[in-house]
């Protein structure tokens, strides 16, 4: 059951990242100019009749993020109480810390009017959080629990190198997107 819940959270996180990219792509980041409220309303009581234009994207992103945050609290507690592996308990706490930091970065992005550094950090942490939820879903799977031995040193080097290189590429892309640098070569590729 824990594994299925972790899979569900990872799927919701994919949806959250997609919603965040819609906010950026539609330039709706400041469609809701306040935080943590939505035009002075609690975000959970903001009337659906007012969800129009960019407000739909930004407010929807906030609601999905709140749901993912709540699910992450549940997952962290569940791992702490039920998973016998100490490192998994810690991974659950790391995921919880990441989602809290992500929410704060999202709020700061609005409060400081989309500064490139905070927007890039928000995008970068989103990818880290997604990786954390996918990793937890993998590590709670029955097949992970019964996997045979592998050459740990080689696997560790390969996975670390690959992860670092991919993450650098993500940060370069996020920096280009949030600083408008992609427009420097408008006909590329």
pLDDT digits 0-9 by tens, 70-84: 999 999 999 999 999
At 181, the pLDDT band (50, 70, 90 cuts) reads confident
CA 66 remoteness from chain centre = 11
| pLDDT value for 186 | 65
Q: What is the pTM of this model?
A: 0.84
For 3-46, how does the pLDDT look when each residue is reduced to its tens digit (9 = 90+)?
999 999 999 999 999 999 999 989 999 999 999 999 999 999 99
Rounded Cα distance between 140 and 2, Å, is: 7
């Amino acid at each position: 059951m824990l594994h299925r819940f972790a899979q569900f959270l990872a799927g919701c996180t994919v949806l959250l990242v997609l919603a965040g990219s819609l906010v950026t792509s539609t330039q709706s980041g400041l469609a809701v100019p306040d935080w943590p409220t939505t035009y002075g309303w609690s975000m959970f009581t903001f009337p659906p009749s007012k969800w129009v234009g960019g407000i739909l994207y930004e407010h929807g992103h906030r609601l999905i993020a709140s749901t993912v945050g709540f699910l992450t609290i549940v997952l962290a507690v569940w791992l702490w109480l039920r998973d016998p592996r100490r490192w998994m308990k810690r991974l659950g706490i790391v995921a919880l810390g990441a989602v809290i930091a992500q929410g704060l970065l999202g709020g700061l992005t609005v409060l400081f009017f989309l500064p490139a550094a905070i927007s890039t950090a928000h995008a970068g942490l989103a990818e880290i959080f997604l990786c954390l939820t996918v990793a937890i879903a993998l590590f709670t799977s029955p097949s992970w629990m019964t996997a045979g031995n592998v050459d740990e040193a080689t696997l560790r080097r390969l996975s670390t190198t690959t992860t670092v290189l991919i993450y650098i590429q993500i940060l370069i892309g996020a920096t280009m997107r949030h600083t408008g640098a992609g427009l420097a070569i408008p006909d590329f590729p």
